[in-house]
Copies of this chain bind each other. A is one copy, B any other.
Amino acid sequence: MGVSGAADPDSFFTGMVVMTAPIDPGGLSPEQARALFRGGLRVPTAGWCAGWTQANLIAVPRDHAYDLLLFAQRNPKPCPVLDVTEPGETSASLFSGDLRTDLPGYVVYERGEPVAEVPDVTRHWCDDLVAFLIGCSFTFEDALREAGVPVRHIEQDRNVPMYRTNRRCRPAGSFRGPLVVSMRPVPAGLVADAVRVTSRYPSVHGAPVHVGDPVALGIDDLDRPDFGEPVDVRAGEVPVFWACGVTPQAAVMASRPSLAIGHLPGHMAVTDARDARYVVP
């Protein structure tokens, strides 16, 4: 898969990045990818930096951090916590880059309302902000592809489709909200393989939460995801749903803390941890 800013209407560049040839994003190191994102490249990160773990970001003021950490503990399937910063820190033990600039996109929330979608949150970051890195299902996509399970959004060079569901998370303090899921269409004969492979990654959402009928999750139309982009579901394929690390952002929208900063869905933090760290035997 090549990435070309000009070919992707969702991409943007600043004057700091000039790409003279398509790059192979799967072959980049985390440092290289973060430098591109810091320079202004906006692109979904599925397929980037093969073997390196990607993470969801959610940052809230210290006053809300306990409720959010407890929300994550009570909802480990959508909210597996990989790392938590000290208040005000701009990097994390798993992420040596700058959390304010080195993701390809951010959403800023004030009282639960998304007020900005920006490539840099330096001016929004404050001394009492606690950042959570939450596991991401992109982590097991290399393993899915190695097992012969197609990953359609990578094939189609699109952002993964994500949906709010009718399932409620277990609340914690002020935090509540719906489970958000990502969807990958899987040929019926490979569903068992998809389950088997992803079960081995419990700290990055693990096994699917639902296989089949989207309506049972309250999803009326797969072609209209709440986040990301739709992908083709072909004859003989079953939609398979995994818990998604955008769930904390849906909780922010429902729970309305004074401030929150999340990654732009699908535009993840590329960490310094190897995927292998999160596989169980």
Contact = CB atoms under 8 A, between A and B. Distances in A.
Interface of A: 65-66, 69-70, 73-74, 81, 84, 199, 202, 280-281
A73 B84 contact: yes
Contact of A70 (B69, B74, B280): B69
B202 A280 contact: yes
Contacts of A199: 280-281
Given A66-B69, A69-B70, A73-B73, 4 more contacts: A69-B69, A69-B73, A73-B84, A199-B280
Secondary structure at the A interface, as helix, strand, loop or mixed, is helix
16 contacts: A65-B66, A66-B66, A66-B69, A69-B69, A69-B70, A69-B73, A70-B84, A73-B73, A73-B81, A73-B84, A74-B84, A199-B280, A199-B281, A202-B202, A202-B280, A280-B280
The quantity of this chain's copies bound in the complex is 2
Nearest to A87: B173
Nearest to A172: B84
Nearest to A69: B69
Contacts of A202: 202, 280
Contacts of A73: 69, 73, 81, 84
Contacts of A281: 199
Contacts of A280: 199, 202, 280
A202 B281 CA distance: 11
A66 B69 CA distance: 8
A240 to B, nearest CB: 17
A81 B71 CA distance: 13
A103 B127 CA distance: 42
A84 B70 CA distance: 8
A202 B73 CA distance: 15
Contacts of A84: 70, 73-74
A206 to B, nearest CB: 9
Across the A-B interface, the 10 shortest Cβ-Cβ residue pairs:
A66-B66, A69-B69, A73-B81, A199-B281, A280-B280, A70-B84, A73-B84, A65-B66, A202-B280, A69-B70
Contacts of A66: 65-66, 69
